Amino acid sequence: MSVEQQPTGSGAAAILAAGMGSLALGVFAFAGDAVPALGRAFTFWQPTGALSGVTITAIAVWLISWFVLSRRWASRDVRLGPVNAAAFAMLAAALLLTFPPVMDALQGK
Amino acid sequence: MEISYRDMITVLHGMGFGVLFMLAFSGAIGVIYATAVVGPHWPRSKWDNAMFRFYLISMAALAWLATISGAYIIYPWYRAVPPAGTADLSTYPRALLLSNPHTAGWHDVGMEWKEHIAWFTPIAMTMVAYVFIKYGPRLALHRQMRNAVLGFTAVAFFSTAVAGLFGAFLNKYAPVRGGPDIVLMREN
């Protein structure tokens, strides 16, 4: 197969957006648990409760950020070091925010 | 030999979508890593490349199916609130777990973590499939991009493992049961 260089922008946009979507999920999950009014607002579908709004909103953030970043970066070469660092920092924060003992500790429970 | 409708959907969610996805992981890691070891001329043919694209798209599809079926079909059965005065909580798994301090942690930690962490997997695997389709063998030329793809694949594996492990334990202590019985085999 012939192989030629391709700008890194599309890949960088997908990687950073995945980090942003993950962080949105962590933040919304934590906020919905910590603030009862937000938990009720996130209840888009009663049988699944706040999880419905948390996941649908996080996926919307992920897809919109991916779309916007792709439009900006598609034809450019983007430095991947800072993109990776930001994406993994957001992913790590998201993992911590969804871990119930951390959620409880941050709320002083 | 019978199984309840809800049991069958739970088996499909965990053993069908979830386990199949877990089994596919080693193949995904192996092929992405191979692009680093062999270089930009791997996969060697367009057919091999197309097959691996199909493989990663299937993994992402399985991740979405497992997560959506868990959150929007099984979770509502799990968290159903029993009518006041209900003594038999066997068809209300969440209430059953919370009724005993020795099992409450399976909900407070297990289900609370599982219901959120599982969602990292389809997000990560969709990104991984997209990047591989977009760049294919050229991933060998972008070491940092390949590292990000491998990192997100590893996080997807961890997230699925956590969700699957707690799913298995939760189903042991408070199985999701109910609905019409389905006869799998008649015994004489």
Q: In this predicted structure, what is the pLDDT of residue B75?
A: 97
Q: Which residues of chain B does A12 touch, with a Cβ-Cβ cutoff of 8 Å?
A: 145
Q: A11 lies in a domain?
A: no
Q: Which residues of chain B does A34 touch, with a Cβ-Cβ cutoff of 8 Å?
A: none
Question: Based on the structure, what is the number of domains in chain A?
Answer: 1
Q: A49 lies in a domain?
A: yes
Q: Cβ of A10 and B134 within 8 Å?
A: yes
Q: Closest Cα to residue B152, out of A5, A103, A32, A62?
A: A62
Q: Which two tokens stand for residue B71?
A: 């959150």
At residue A2 the predicted structure's pLDDT band, cuts being 50, 70 and 90, is: very low
pLDDT in tens, A27-55: 999 999 999 999 999 999 999 999 999 99
pLDDT in tens, B14-26: 999 999 999 998 8
Q: Which residue of B has its CA nearest to A66?
A: B127
| Mean of per-residue pLDDT scores for chain A | 95
Length of chain B: 188
Over 70: is that where the pLDDT of A103 sits? yes
Burial (CB count <10 Å: 0-12, 13-18, 19+), residue A63 = middle
Look up the ipTM and state it.
0.94
Range of the domain at A100: 18-106
Q: A9 lies in a domain?
A: no
